[in-house]
Amino acid sequence: MKPVISISLLIALVVALSACEHKVYMETTVHEDGSLDKTIVLETADTTKNFMGIEAEGGWTMMTHAIEDTSENSKKWNVTYQKKFASAEEANAELATARDTLFRVSSKFDKKFRWFYTYLYYSDTYSTINRMTLPSDDFIAQEDHAFIERLPAEGTTISKADSLYLTELHKKIFDIYGLRAIYEAHYSLNEKLIHESGLEDRWLDTLKKHKENIYQRLVKNENVPEDFMYKTMDSVGIPLPMEKMRSRYDELYKWEDAKTDFINHASEGKYTHVINMPWKIVRTNADSVSGNRLMWNPPSIKFLLKDYTMYAEARKMNVWAFVVSALVIVFTGYLLWRKGN
């Protein structure tokens, strides 16, 4: 018999307000030539896999340190991965792969000469955690996005009014948009099954006719089986060869389930991001700066619905340019003096 999933559990697959928090630490040391030293520390209960897809076989130096989780009376590990990349592009080829079940970090390095100074720009961008195909714009207003953008670092105290707004925003994202996004994803599986089974396209119209009624049944019913959407085909009279297409449905369902599991896991992370720049910092959006070391502690909602970029710009004085300029000025002055005499 298939297990039963409650609506609240279905929503929880993408909820960030879960008790299963885990720490994520990422640090990049930027060198003048564009090479990068990256360190990633993940708190995990399974050292054989992680939500970033990195592993020792990929050239990463890997170290593990066991930690006791007294709250859950179980053991976890801090797994440290380190690797040097020749360029940001090389790092992106490994850490920014277009996989819906992996966390993506995109790096950008830019170096510009401006005579008296040379400027170096570097950024790391966390790609949107939400991998559902349903756009969130019809559910989340621009005012909500503006509120998210101005949220301070994780752990920083916010006003009571902002706290209440954040609570309501979580409800809007997870209880309304989240559930609808999951429904749309599984509804599309039914459409795909109709196509692959060889049924006439008119059965797609039948499915569409019942689309909103099916959704309301899903919302109102406290408990629904995992294969609720699959069994719906038969309940609305679509003659899908149920036994024949069962394995295909399970295959598609497994992929969607893996995607929502990723969203859930990534949303639960407590993130610390560090960038070490080689020169004096002149511009950044970091939460804190200590010399050439910049730190961010973004709440996961910052990049739940949109990409989040952490950047720093540094500059170095070109001493030779000042010397050359001084010599030119002196020489020009000398010529003018000679001409005047």
From CA 222, how far away is CA 201, in angstroms rounded?
32
From CA 209, how far away is CA 229, in angstroms rounded?
15
Contact 26, 272 (CB under 8 A): yes
From CA 229, how far away is CA 251, in angstroms rounded?
14
Say what the pTM is.
0.86
- Residue entry with tokens 């076989």: 57
Domain boundaries, the chain: 20-159+265-320, 168-262
- Residue entry with tokens 């008119």: 202
Residue 16 CA: distances (Å) to CA of 167, 169, 303 = 12, 12, 12
* Total Cβ atoms within 10 A of residue 63: 12
Give pLDDT, residue 322.
Answer: 60
Structure tokens at 103: 């966390």
Indicate the helix (H) or strand (E) that contains 30. strand 22-30
At CB < 8 A and 24+ separation, what contacts does 331-334 make? none
- The 3-state DSSP class for residue 276 equals strand
Give pLDDT, residue 293.
Answer: 98
From CA 30, how far away is CA 181, in angstroms rounded?
39
Give pLDDT, residue 69.
Answer: 61
Give pLDDT, residue 34.
Answer: 97
- Pairing relationship of beta strands 308-317 and 74-85 according to DSSP bridges: unpaired
Structure tokens at 287: 């939460």
Give pLDDT, residue 226.
Answer: 79
Give pLDDT, residue 265.
Answer: 93
Give pLDDT, residue 166.
Answer: 96
Residues of the chain with confidence (pLDDT) below 70? 1-19, 68-74, 222, 319-322, 325, 334, 341
